């Protein structure tokens, strides 16, 4: 059985198109699940540890960016993901409210609780 070149190229093109469609579908689903997971974590991320946790002293310096603060908190074991903290911070009522200074935070506090403390609005913790 002889297959001419035209037929062979036709089948190769069809196979490549099918592979491209499969890749696009896989990539779309994969990114959709990752985006959903990240978005879900923005609003539901728990503290690093249960109570009583561990106290950690950090210093927020004048001019530190949101990203630098997130990286500091991640480095000190207070949050799991600096990028997630930045998104939580930007979406919070405490955006651009963090006051430079030295704070004692605890690994049993959520990112929101840490933001409240670092913004000097501890009365919000009681609510």
> Residue 35: is it exposed, middle or buried by C-beta count within 10 angstroms (0-12/13-18/19+)?
exposed
Domain coordinates of the chain in residue numbers?
1-44, 55-126
Which pLDDT tens digit goes with each residue over 55-96?
A: 999 999 999 999 999 999 999 999 999 999 999 999 998 888
Indicate the angle between helix axes 82-91 and 5-44, nearest 10 degrees: 60
DSSP character at residue 98: P
Residue 22's region, left for phi above 0, alpha for psi from -120 to 50, else beta, is alpha
Whether the pTM exceeds 0.85: the reply is no
Rounded to an integer, what distance in angstroms lies between the CA atom of residue 26 and that of residue 76?
A: 36
* 123, β-bridge pairs: none
CATH class of the domain comprising 55-126: alpha beta
């Amino acid at each position: 059985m002889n297959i001419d070149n035209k037929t062979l190229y036709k089948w190769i093109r069809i196979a490549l198109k099918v592979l491209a469609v499969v890749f696009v579908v896989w990539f779309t689903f994969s990114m959709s699940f990752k985006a959903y997971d990240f978005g879900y974590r923005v609003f539901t991320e728990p503290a690093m540890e249960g109570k009583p946790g561990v106290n950690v002293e950090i210093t927020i310096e004048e001019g530190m960016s949101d990203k630098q603060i997130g990286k500091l908190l991640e480095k000190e074991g207070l949050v799991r993901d600096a990028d997630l903290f930045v998104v939580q911070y930007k979406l919070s009522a405490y955006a651009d409210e963090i006051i430079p200074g030295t704070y004692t935070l605890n690994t049993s506090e959520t990112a929101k609780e840490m933001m409240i403390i670092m913004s000097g609005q501890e009365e919000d913790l009681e609510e």
